[in-house]
Structure 1
Amino acid sequence: MAYSVKQRHRAPAVTSPVPVDPTLPRACVVGAGSSGIAAVKALAQAGVPFDCFEQGSVVGGNWVLDNPNGQSACYDTLEINTSCPRMAYSDFPMPADYPAYARHDQVAAYFEAYVDHFALRDRIAFDTTVTDVTPAPDDTWLVTVEGPAGRETRTYDAVLVANGHHWDPRWPEPAYPGTFAGEQIHAHDYRSAAQLEGRDIVVVGSGNSALDIAVEAGRVARSTVLSQRRGQWVLRKFTLGRPSDQVALPGWLPWWATALRLRLGALTSGNVARLGLPQPAHKPGQSHPVQSEGIRAALRSGAVTPKPGIERLDGDRVVFVDGSSAPADLVVWATGYRVTFPFLDASLVSADDNDLPLWKRTVHPDLPGLFFIGLLQPVGAVMPLAEAQGTWVAQMLAGRYAPPPVDEVRRQMAAEHERNRRQFYASPRHTMEVDFDHYLWDLERERRRGAARAARRRMPSAPGPGVAHDASEARS
């Protein structure tokens, strides 16, 4: 069935944590952002022994303005693009008095409340950076960390990577020709309108951050240009006064059903190409959704001037491919992010052009014990999907789930990759795309199947490995 926004009930606060079972595999969680804390909760409730390391001093990752970990791209006007009920964890709804689309500070407060409600804060080692994760010959993992106690290396049976994928800025490659006399920043370093006020701004990009920054620049800058090489279908956040994403489709429908929903949303929102932005070369639903309530008014009023892609930089001006130019003393490159893992050797795990195939966007079939949490780009919010991934991995480590044969894992992974390729146009932006409802439905189905396999293997009369081997096999 589809992921329902109506079946949300807050779980009781944890007053007596589940005892740790020392016979289970030991796990390490890298990061305490929205994905990491969901994994921590799942492991804690399964009794799996684990450590969680967070580079900064707070939870919440990218949703914390000026996060002490130095990785957040949060800016002062940032709000969620998925409505609160669809973003919240399954057993911890957002406060009823939140607006339909919560602000960043409200989201950060929600994550803080989640950690305290489930008694997770003491399970997280703050101000501790994971510097190296290396496989050992005995199928364990060596994790080196640096923190208040210095540098040390620990051994784990499993590592859950939850370091996020919106922190390593992707700049234009190759760089545009020419020289520029002004300032250039990536959207990752944008924080507030104070950086834009009274200046000649060129914002480059077509995603959500680009539109947010352009709208804000249109309000305070001397001049604002929005440069896009490729057009996008820009959806509205509300339909007939209601959050647009709360009209869910059944999760069992094929991938094209979501594409149909996005096409309908684009058509009802109106084509921003009529306001001067490039005409999208793809159909609605063939790219990750872009949403903005303000860009249309900014374009109509002239506060933001649309321009095509850049040809070159020319001193105090930017020249575009149509031969026009605009004055500029600040260029904001909203050109996306690279998927990188600084603690993993590139020969072991690399994501060239952001492409890292994984089974269910979680399991690397060649690296037993290495899992990725939240490394996906859903048509919807990451948080419930990371929660489902964390629960799945916890079941594996607790021996309550057994995977299918590795050949079947690879077959499914290839089929999922091909389905993604058919739906979205080729770009680094779409290498991790999944449909929110279908993903949750599909993963829940696999969890049930794996639980049945594990139960059969635990039966005394059944041939095959015992429980201890099941736990090891579940990590393969």
Structure 2
Amino acid sequence: MNSTGPVDNDRDLTYAVIGAGPSGLAAARNLQQAGLPWAGYELAAGVGGLWDASAPRSTVYDSAHLISSRTTTQFSEFPMREGVADYPSHRELLDYFRDFATAFDLTPGFEFGSEVTAVVPHPEGGFTVTARSAAGSHDTRHAGVLVANGTLSEPNVPTFAGSFDGELFHTSAYKSATVFAGKRVLIVGAGNSGCDIAVDAVHHAASVDLSVRRGYHFVPKYVFGKPADTLNQRKRPLPPRIKQAVDSRVLRMFTGDPTRFGFPKPDHRIYESHPIVNSLVLHHLGHGDLAVRPDVRRFAGGNVDFVDGSSRSYDVVVLATGYHLHYPFLDPALLRWRGRGSAPDLYLNIFSAAHRDLFVLGMIEASGIGWQGRYEQAELVAAYLRARREDPAAVAAFDARVSGPRPDLSGGYRYLGLERMSYYVNKDAYRSAVRAEIEELQP
């Protein structure tokens, strides 16, 4: 790993935390516990990240809820209040993050209404962070930077042949189903957001179609009366092929065969891509409230032509086409991107081999990893920074691993080679690897 100066010896410098969502709060909390000074930057008016629907870059909509259950998602040291639903709404989650920040006195450490526009290595070590607010722009030197600005703010907007005369927007701009009242609606993409919005739309729209290019595995939120992700929790996970065989049979009992409703047969086994945690979309398909259409070939005025040669008229097209990773304030070379449509090449999805004072938090997706998995990322960064002052030998060994081969974090699963899967990990393999590194750096 590269370094440009003895920044570890300057105890007057703070560590910058960019973002006050779940990962940013985890970063602040762990730096606090390690006795490391920090200063936070957040574009919104308060904590919560995307779960604050009023935040400038929030992409949550009125009906948004967790797709993982409360107990598998919450921070271990701060359980959600009694009475919170199994699958909380964005409103309950915003309250949770505000309570977390208040309980640990984190809120005063953030500069709200402050947008980070540049993060540049300082010639004497660390970074200069440029932030812009209503009061103007200012530069601050920091000992290091923990980037926690989230993964769901920069829309992936594909291009299509032709043009559409109706209303066209990405799910990032969607807030309320009233926009669909009396209209013929096409939703392009059937990921979790696309299916959520389709279920919203059927109660308002004249018609709703889902355009899909591949098949999906569907997981209900409840199995045997309990949140599905609370079942089959083992200290030693089943081997992938056994778990896939068992779970696919159990889930088929609850969801049936999605190909009955027009979905293509999945080109992957369950858990090799993120499953759709929504059985209501199958319910509405079975009731004729929804229809599945193939991939879009082109827009043609008020019509949409599909690859099977069919064509239909629509008033609204919603692009449920996901998001790009987005770190516009950083030189891409500092993150060592692996290529267009991919993700940065970071050790454990956190540590950059290009600069030892730069860390990315939250750049993981995994079924069931929850916010605790992201909290442990921050715990590892704090352990590393503390060890740089107290255990140089352990840090030297760790830095060598950062610059070396990447560990296998797949847990034996063969993930699809898609952009959205480029930073996907297996939760058990990942958390085990992170916890092992924390133990190596403990005094």
Deviation at 1:448, TM superposition (A): 0.7
Query: Is the partner of 1:133 in helix, strand or coil?
Result: strand
Aligned to 1:393: 381
Percent identity, please: 31
Report what 1:165 is aligned to. 151
Establish whether residue 97 from structure 1 lines up as the match of residue 83 from structure 2.
Answer: yes
Q: Which residue of the other structure, out of 176, 184, 198, is the alignment partner of 2:182? A: 198
| Aligned-partner SS, 2:406 | helix
Asked if the contact 1:29–1:53 (Cα under 8 Å) also holds between the matched residues in 2, the reply is yes
8 Å Cα contact 2:13/2:141 also seen in 1: no
Q: Tell me which of 234, 239, 247 is aligned to 1:249.
A: 234
How far does the alpha carbon of each residue in 1:13-51 deviate from its partner, in whole angstroms, 9 at most, with x for none?
Answer: xxxxxxxx9838631000101110111111112211111
User: Following the alignment from structure 2 to structure 1, what is the Cα–Cα distance between the partners of residues 350 and 236?
Assistant: 19
- The structure 2 residue matched to 1:59, chosen from 47, 52, 70, is 47
Flag the 1:216–1:360 CA change in 2: closer, same or farther, 3 A. same
Residue pair 2:66, 2:88 contacting (<8 A) in 1 also: yes
Alpha-carbon distance in 2 for matches of 1:279, 1:190: 29
3-state SS of paired residue (2:120): strand
Cα-to-partner distance string for 1:176-232 (whole Å, 9 max, x where unaligned): 212211011000111011111111100011210000111111221011110001111
Q: Does 1:223 align with 2:207?
A: yes
- Contact in 1 for aligned 2:334/2:354 (Cα 8 Å): no
| 1:336-388 residue CA offsets vs partner (Å, 9 max, x unmatched) | 00111111123433463132222111111222111011111121244111211
- 2:62 & 2:402 partners in 1: Cα distance? 43
Q: Which residue of 1 aligns with 2:108?
A: 122
Q: Specify whether residues 123 and 262 from structure 1 end up closer, same or farther in structure 2 by C-alpha distance, changes over 3 A only.
A: farther
1:236 aligns with 2:224: no
Distance in 1 of aligned mates of 2:321 and 2:222: 26
| Alpha-carbon spacing, 1:202–1:119, altered in 2? closer, same or farther (3 Å) | same
The answer to whether 1:33 aligns with 2:21 is yes
* Cα shift readout 1:408-428 (whole Å, capped 9, x = no counterpart): 334452534xx4795211100
> In the alignment, is residue 210 of structure 1 matched against residue 194 of structure 2?
yes
Distance 1:112 1:262, change over 3 A: farther
Stretches of 4+ aligned residues off by more than 4 angstroms: 251-262
Q: 361, 366, 369: which is aligned to 1:373?
A: 361
Aligned with 1:79: secondary structure? coil
User: How many aligned positions are there?
Assistant: 426
For 1:239, the aligned partner's letter is V
Structure 1 SS opposite 2:428: helix
Tell me how far apart the structure 2 counterparts of residues 378 and 125 of structure 1 sit (CA, whole Å): 30
Q: What letter is aligned with 1:445? A: A
Match of residue 429 from structure 1: 420
How far apart are the structure 1 equivalents of 2:126 and 2:195?
45
Instruction: Give 3-state SS (helix, strand or coil) of 2:168's partner.
Output: strand
SS in 2 for 1:384: helix
Q: Which moved more, 1:320-329 or 1:432-441?
A: 432-441
Is the contact made by 1:227 and 1:307 (CA closer than 8 Å) also made in structure 2?
yes
The reply to whether residue 445 of structure 1 matches residue 436 of structure 2 is yes
Residues of 2 paired with 1:347 and 1:167: CA distance? 21
| Counterparts in 2 of 1:317 and 1:109: CA distance versus 1, 3 Å | same
Q: What CA distance in whole angstroms lies between the structure 2 residues aligned with 1:43 and 1:331? A: 44
Map Cα deviations across residues 300-350 of structure 1 (whole Å, 9 max, x no partner).
111111111011111111111111122111100000001111111234334
Partner of 2:99: 113
Aligned to 1:133: 119
**Stretch moving more, 403-412 or 437-446:** 403-412
Distance 1:392 1:203, change over 3 A: same
Question: 1:9 is matched with which residue?
Answer: none
* Counterpart-to-counterpart distance in 2, 1:252 and 1:302: 39
Structure 1: which amino acid aligns with 2:267?
A
Indicate the residue corresponding to 1:409 in structure 2: 402
Q: Specify the SS of the correspondent of 1:354.
A: coil
Whether the 8 Å CA contact 1:33–1:61 is kept in 2: the answer is: yes
Please state how far the C-alpha of 1:138 moved relative to its aligned partner: 3.0
> Structure 1 residues 254 and 46 mapped into 2: Cα distance closer, same or farther (>3 Å)?
farther
TM-score by length of 2: 0.91
> Which stretch has the larger CA shift, 419-428 or 390-399?
419-428
Kindly provide the amino acid, as one letter, of the partner of residue 257 in structure 2.
N
8 Å contact from structure 1 (residues 24, 398) kept in 2: no
2:4 aligned partner: none
Task: Find the aligned partners of 2:243 and 2:109 in 1 and give their Cα distance.
Answer: 38
- CA separation in 2, counterparts of 1:412 and 1:255? 23
In structure 1, the partner of 2:171 is 187
Over 3 Å counting, the alpha-carbon distance change for 1:421 and 1:315 in structure 2 is farther
- Which has the larger displacement, 225-234 or 283-292? 283-292
Could you say if the C-alpha distance between residues 131 and 264 of structure 1 is closer, same or farther in structure 2, counting changes exceeding 3 Å? farther
The 1:82/1:265 distance shift into structure 2, 3 A limit, reads farther
State the alpha-carbon separation in 2 of the partners of residues 262 and 343 from structure 1.
42
Letter in 1 for 2:214: R
TM-score by length of 1: 0.84
CA distance in 1, matches of 2:117, 2:242: 42
Q: 1:197 to 1:420 in 2, by over 3 A?
A: farther
Question: Kindly tell me: are residues 94 and 242 of structure 1, through their superposed partners in 2, closer, same or farther at Cα, counting changes over 3 Å?
Answer: same
Aligned CA-pair RMSD? 2.2
Give the distance between the partners of 2:250 and 2:48, measured in 1 at CA.
30
Change (3 A) 1:394 1:414: closer
* Gapped regions of structure 2 (runs ≥ 5): 1-8
> Residue 51 of structure 1: SS of its match in structure 2?
strand
Structure 2: distance between partners of 1:22 and 1:97: 46
Shift of 1:81: 0.8
For 1:395 and 1:143, locate their aligned partners in 2 and report how far apart those are by CA, in whole Å.
23
Is the 2:72–2:370 contact (alpha carbons within 8 Å) kept by the matching residues of 1? no
Deviation at 1:53, TM superposition (A): 0.4
**Distance in 2 (alpha carbons) for counterparts of 1:361 and 1:396:** 15
